[in-house]
Structure 1
Amino acid sequence: MNETKPLRVGILVARGRALENWELMILDRILAAPWLELAAVFTHPHPFEEDRTSRLLSWSSRLEARALARQPAYSPKYFNSHRHFIDCYDIEADASSTADSITGSFLSRLKLDLVIRTTPKGIADDAIAALPFGEWAFNFSDRRSAEADWFGYAEVLAHAPTADLVLYAKCGGTGRVEIARAAFNIKPSATRLSAFVRERSVTLLMRELARLADTRRFDLPASADAAHGHAPSFGELLRYGCIVAGSVSAVALKAIKSRLHADSAIWTLYTGHGEIDDFDPSEATEIPPSSSSIKADPFLFQHDGKCYLFYEAYARGDRKAHIAVGCFDGDALQPVGVALERPYHLSYPFVFRDGDQIFMIPETHQARRLEIWRCCEFPLKWELHATAFEGQSPADSILIRHDGRWWLFTNLSDFHAYEDHCSELYLFEVDGPALTGIKPHKRNPVVIGSTGARGAGRIFAQGGRLLRPSQHNSHGVYGYGLNIMEIETLTHDDYRERCIRTITPSFKAGLRGCHHFDATDGRYIVDARLTI
């Protein structure tokens, strides 16, 4: 992080209203970050637009929040409202200006770098002009009134595949600029979606504040996306109610079946011949599941001239899975046995070589740590070699060596109420499978959003390119699609990738999703979802 003085940040909140969880999280994390300084907290006496939303929207959104978006209160570690609101300033309703009103000269005296707005109404344009990096806000902050929040209603009504979170700034003389954007999988209700996106927004904001504190550059292009959206009408609310009722009924039925051990996600495998940059899943051969052997997250591994397959395995109705292994005879998979079983759920068995040793990194997020296992006798005997991220929730981890350095890709869930491994990709420079030295990347999380963050298989070095499979979670489905991402920049200070291909479940009839890819020695394998 830049060694110069911290960014001086002001926060604008609504006067007379309790701070929401996401607002408390922002205040808390700013105070915890040495590169940021919470310089002022402003309150707006009239933070909402004059138009009132309907009583039906107000009543239904409150009821829905209690039923579908209930979350524990956030307990700040650093922020104290009694201490940090002492030097708080009110935006006066009278624009004639008093000592406490927010004007350009007033902000100049405070030497603020930017103001983060959590309300629909912000500070005046002349005051914004005095801020070097402007007034920042999220698009969801614009879609609310004093009575209700309507972020997410339009997406649910339109059956949209995802909902966009947009962090933007208003700057003097340049208008509105987009700082960052992320897309998140749709939820069964707008209220649940809104609460989830608000929690994710904290991570996005802190990443962009860290980037700004480090670079002190803010040369972003103007954004044309200025639509705030309208509150749903009476007719739209009735239609929305029918959609939510159907979604909630389906979720409830699935939960009942799960408790009765009568339901599990059913996956199937497809194998064929090709590489990551040219495979055609429509020509693949199916390796179908049985009620006692459902297979997902497949990883191929060549050993002594044979092609083995490690995969997540479970029977229908099971609450946890183990790691099994099979061996290919042509396109037929012959079972070999159980490679690893633990008291907690295992999946995503990434198997790789380092010299003459073989290692496996299964997903062990239920154990609240990352585990690396070393093979003692291939393929069924493994011993615990290293652990990391104790007390955290890593998932779908991949270790690669690139330009002489080891890099660990993992999906950590930075959460308070909504644990989610599909939205944030973290990158660490490590010392190899021992994991005795772990250095976080400067731009963590390097990818945010459910349409590209979560890993979907090993990373390939192909013709001088790095290609990363990732999940495309959308349409309300976990594991809806599969991306092939090309990593364009991978350094200590920067990470950039672009999507070069997306595979949807349309490649075979009857599929609901596909979310994993692997290949070795000319053979590839994908998994596909048969049920929701």
Structure 2
Amino acid sequence: MAEVARLGFSAAPAVRWLAEEARLKFVADPFGLWRDGRLYLFVEAYDYRSRHGIIEVIELDGAFSPVRRSVVLREPWHLSYPHVFEADGQVWMLPEAHRSGALTLYRAAAFPNVWEPVARLKLDTPAIDATPFRHGGLWWLAYSPTGPQRWKQGRLHLAFAERLSGPWRLHPGNPVRNNLASSRPGGTVWIEDAMPVLPVQDCTLTYGGAIRQLKFLRLDPDRFEAEASAPLAPPSDVGRYAMGLHTLSAAGSVTLFDVKRIDRSLWPSRREAASCAS
């Protein structure tokens, strides 16, 4: 039994999909930035034969047609969840790399292809799917801890700092959430009514089975309160790729997401799909 999905994107009103990956490969965890009328889609590219993920960029033109694809980050350890964002006049990437034992912040030396490590963010655990955002004059990180699978999929930790490079302080309420339905980060934070909203994975039935919106009601260095929405439905035209909505992120007016299906005929193939809908 294998998880299989497909890389795609959309401009309103319909979702559009890119060609499927080759067998035993998948792409997932889409994050994007616009530059000069082009959308740069950063993804995890995984090969089941090496059991190793690298970070690739797929360049889409203004009509959302792919024009170029290249590897932008490769390390001795597995990489995924390439959260790219802009701050302080620079472009940054904070990829998930907990198997390295650290969380490393990268800066674009030459966007989009050249990235240099600039800081190791010191936390209580090698963070999983670390998601940075600003609130109340501070930088915040939402992440899941390493440990048993139940922790990786069902606990949410927070840390805060005055500067992106740290030093980072742990929220005293950690883990601020402890349930499989709405804890593990799953995309970029947006602001609603002056409060952050974090996409979180619903892993109740399967890893990345759905996305919920976690609306922060109170967030400061001493307190945390939030409520989760019902699971979001995947696009209506996913067809057989309806077994999970795993990531939800924003690139301007475009929303990126990935979905999956289960294929019992493959070993051990999963081809995750990244999609974007505006």
* Match status 1:485 vs 2:223: no
Counterpart residue identity of residue 466, structure 1: P
In the alignment, is residue 356 of structure 1 matched against residue 86 of structure 2?
Answer: no
Alignment match, 1:451: 181
Rounded to whole Å, the distance in 2 between the matches of 1:439 and 1:528 is 34
- 1:466 and 2:196 correspond: yes
Label 1:430 to 1:390 Cα distance change in 2 as closer, same or farther (>3 A). closer
The 2-side partners of 1:394 and 1:352 are apart by: 18
TM-aligned CA deviation for residue 394 of structure 1? 1.3
Please state how far the C-alpha of 1:525 moved relative to its aligned partner: 1.4
Partner in structure 1 of residue 165 of structure 2? 434
Name 1:313's counterpart in structure 2: 45
Tell which has more relative contact order, 1 or 2 (C-alpha 8 A, sep 6+): 2
Find the counterpart in structure 1 of residue 80 from structure 2.
347
- 2:212 & 2:150 partners in 1: Cα distance? 23
Shift of 1:350: 0.3
CA deviations on 1:126-176 (whole Å, 9 max, x unpaired) are xxxxxxxxxxxxxxxxxxxxxxxxxxxxxxxxxxxxxxxxxxxxxxxxxxx
Residue 441 of structure 1, CA deviation = 0.8
Q: CA deviation at 1:273?
A: 4.3
What runs of 5+ residues in structure 1 fail to find an aligned partner?
1-253, 255-263, 275-279
> Is 2:94–2:104's contact at 8 Å kept on the other side of the alignment?
yes
| C-alpha displacement of 1:267 | 2.8
Aligned to 1:266: 4
1:419 Cα deviation after fit: 6.7
Q: Secondary structure at 1:474's aligned position in 2? A: coil
Letter in 2 for 1:515: H
* Corresponding residue number in structure 1 for 2:259: 528
- Runs of 4 or more above 4 Å deviation: none
2:33 touches 2:252 (CA, 8 Å); kept in 1?
no
In the alignment, the residues of structure 2 paired with residue 469 and residue 286 of structure 1 have an alpha-carbon distance, to the nearest angstrom, of: 22
Alignment of 1:165-244 (within 5 A): none
Q: How far off its partner does 1:331 sit?
A: 2.9
1:316 deviates by 4.7
Deviation at 1:371, TM superposition (A): 0.9
The percent identity for this pair of structures is: 25
Amino acid of the structure 1 residue aligned with 2:253: G
Which of residues 387, 399, 403 is equivalent to 2:132?
Answer: 399
Work out whether 1:380 is the aligned partner of 2:113: yes
Provide the residue aligned with 2:34 in structure 1: 302
Q: Tell me by how many angstroms 1:314 deviates.
A: 2.3
Aligned 8 A contact 2:31 2:251 in 1: no
TM-score under structure 1 normalisation?
Answer: 0.46
1:336 alignment partner in structure 2:
69
Pick which of 484-493 and 312-321 moved more: 312-321
Q: Give, in whole Å, the separation in 2 of the partners of 1:355 and 1:523.
A: 23
Q: In proportion to residue count, which structure has more helix?
A: 1
Aligned to 1:327: 59
1:413 maps onto 2:146 in alignment: yes
Q: How many residues align?
A: 259
TM-score, structure 2 length as denominator? 0.85
Shift of 1:269: 3.2
SS at match of 1:422: helix
The unaligned stretches of length 5 or more in structure 2 are: 264-278
Kindly indicate which of the two structures has a greater share of residues assigned to strand: 2
Show the counterpart of 1:502: 231
Deviation at 1:468, TM superposition (A): 1.0
Give 1:466 shift: 2.0
- RMSD of the TM alignment (CA)? 2.3
